[in-house]
Every structure is written in structure tokens, then in C-alpha cells.
Amino acid sequence: MSLLARALDSDIWHSFRSSKTTILAAAVTAALVVAALLAPWISPQNPWDPGALQLIDAFNPPAWAPEGSWRFVLGTDDQGRDLLSAIFYGLRVSLTVGFLAVLFAMIVGIALGMFAGYAGGATETVIMRLADVQLTFPTILIALMIDGVTRALLPGEAHDRLAVLVLVFSIGVSNWVHYARTVRASTLVEKRKEYVQAARVIGLHPVIIMVRHVLPNVMGPVLVIATVGLAVAILTEATLSFLGVGVPGTQPSLGTLIRIGNNFLFSGEWWIVIFPGIALAMLVLAVNLLGDWLRDALNPKLR
């Protein structure tokens, strides 16, 4: 059987096809990811190029409003930025930061968790106590602290230039614990199994045993955490940007756009908040639904 045929016959594919909500969530996620990827080609305007922005276009309402124009379908913000283009580009920032932060947290978490589980003893105690301590503090607080400290360490201009990396680092560091705990627990189970003992007997290096043999067997739960973690990371990025400590205003993410719109709530320009808000909520909801489904699909108890 070919790989494709096997994939189409798997349990996961069947459970995916039988849930309409999941199909819809996957479609929405895919559409938003594609919009983010193709942003430079499908956007009517480049919202990151100050030269393309005309102040005279500022505060245009959406096209269907009495004073709206079809040049700016979802209206414009205070600097004449086309909101539709800004949302496409903003999705790009949100997804980039989200994916990279999850990847970073995953690598750190898997490495430390597997190391703790495999090594045991004092190493395990130190790593897992550290994880326990960190887990008592909410993600957003840790991310804010790290952001504040890097701000003190780096000069202002360098901080702005590295904003995305700082975000990835602070969100990633504040999320590694979940991966580490799960991976450690599975590693403890796996390392007592015969295949690991056999690998040890033939004298393989512990690192090779961990990466080549244990890792593939502990990845299932990690994928579930990563999906939910993506939603959390996107939300954290949006929150940090909304609070004004995320990406700089010249390259706005969805959170930054909402922050901008928040300033004009009382003067009646509701669209600057609402449209980026809808995009953000749709993205997070869709990813969350996918995560829920994946958790149920990979949970052997529910089969």
C-alpha cells in the first residue's frame, strides 16, 4: 500500500472526516495560513511601507458604510493603512511568532524532559522542580518579565529590530514546561521497555537511543500540546503587542492593530478594532478546535 493510501485509511483520517466542526476549523486555519503566506501578493497595499501610506486616506470606514470606498474594503486606520492588507500582514507576524515560539518551547521542553526522564537522579529533580516553580506563574507574566529584562539589556533601537526574536524567546521560555513534563513522563515509561534495553546492550550512545528510538515514541502527546500551544502562543503575542511591549508599530501584528484601534474607540472608528479582532478570534478558535480534536483522536482511551 502506498503511503497516501495508508494515510487515507488511518484512524485519524476517519475521525477527522466524521467531524464537521473539525473540517471547518481546518479549513479556516488553512485559509488564514494561506492568506498570511501570500500576503505580499494578495494585499491591495503594502502596509509596512510608510511611503505607500497617505494620511489623507486615514479613518476611511469599511466599503459598505455610507462614506466608505471599495479601495479600502475594511476601511483604514489612523495612518491611512488599508486594514485588509494590514490584517494579512498582521496574520503573518502572529503566525510566525506563534510557530517559532512553539518550536522553541518544544525543542527546549523535549530536550530537558527527555534528559530528565532518561538520566533520573539529581538532574531529574533539579529540572522538574524548576518546571514546577515556573508552572506556578502564568505565561503572560513570565513573558512580560523576560521582555522587560531584555529591554533593559538592549538599547532601544536594537530591541525594536529584534522584537520578533525577543517575543519568540519570551513566549517560548514561558511555555517549555508543558512539553518537558509530558515528555519526561513518557520517557520514564519507554526507557523500561525492551527495545531501549536492547539498544543499550548493543552499546548505542544514550543520545542516539534518545533521539532515534525514544523520541518517535513520545511525540504523540507532544503534538497535541503543540497545537493547543500554538493558540496560546498566538494569544500571548497578541496580548503583549496590545500592551505595547510586542512588535513595533511600523510592522503591526493583529495585537498591535487592536491597540491602535483601541485609541479611537470613543471617536466612533470601531472598524480598526473589530476586524483585526475577528481575524484573531477566528484564528485562535480554529486552532483550539483542531487541538481538541487531535487530543481526542490520539487518546487511546476514547477509541
Which residues of the shown chain bind another protein in the complex (CB under 8 A)? 133, 136-138, 140-141, 144-145, 147-149, 151-153, 231, 235, 238-239, 242-245, 258, 261-262, 265-266, 268, 270, 273, 277, 280-281, 284-285, 288-289
Residue 46 Cβ vs another protein, minimum distance, rounded to whole Å? 26
- By C-beta, is 214 or 257 nearer to another protein? 257
Residue 146 Cβ vs another protein, minimum distance, rounded to whole Å? 10
CA 290/CA 26 separation, integer angstroms = 7
- By C-beta, is 209 or 286 nearer to another protein? 286
- By C-beta, is 184 or 209 nearer to another protein? 184
Which of 174, 206, 181, 208 minimizes the C-alpha distance to 116?
Answer: 181
Residue 110 Cβ vs another protein, minimum distance, rounded to whole Å? 20
- By C-beta, is 250 or 263 nearer to another protein? 263
- By C-beta, is 185 or 204 nearer to another protein? 185
Count of C-beta atoms within a 10 Å radius of residue 126: 11
CA 138/CA 176 separation, integer angstroms = 13
- Note whether 208 and 216 are within 8 A (CB): no
DSSP code of 253?
-
Upper half-sphere CA count for residue 40 (Cβ side, 13 Å): 2
Residue 111 Cβ vs another protein, minimum distance, rounded to whole Å? 22
Residue 84 Cβ vs another protein, minimum distance, rounded to whole Å? 19
82 strand-pairing partners: 76
- By C-beta, is 164 or 209 nearer to another protein? 164
99 strand-pairing partners: none
Contacts 24+ apart (CB under 8 A), 3-12: 11/297, 11/303, 12/297, 12/298
Which of 129, 104, 106 minimizes the C-alpha distance to 116?
Answer: 129
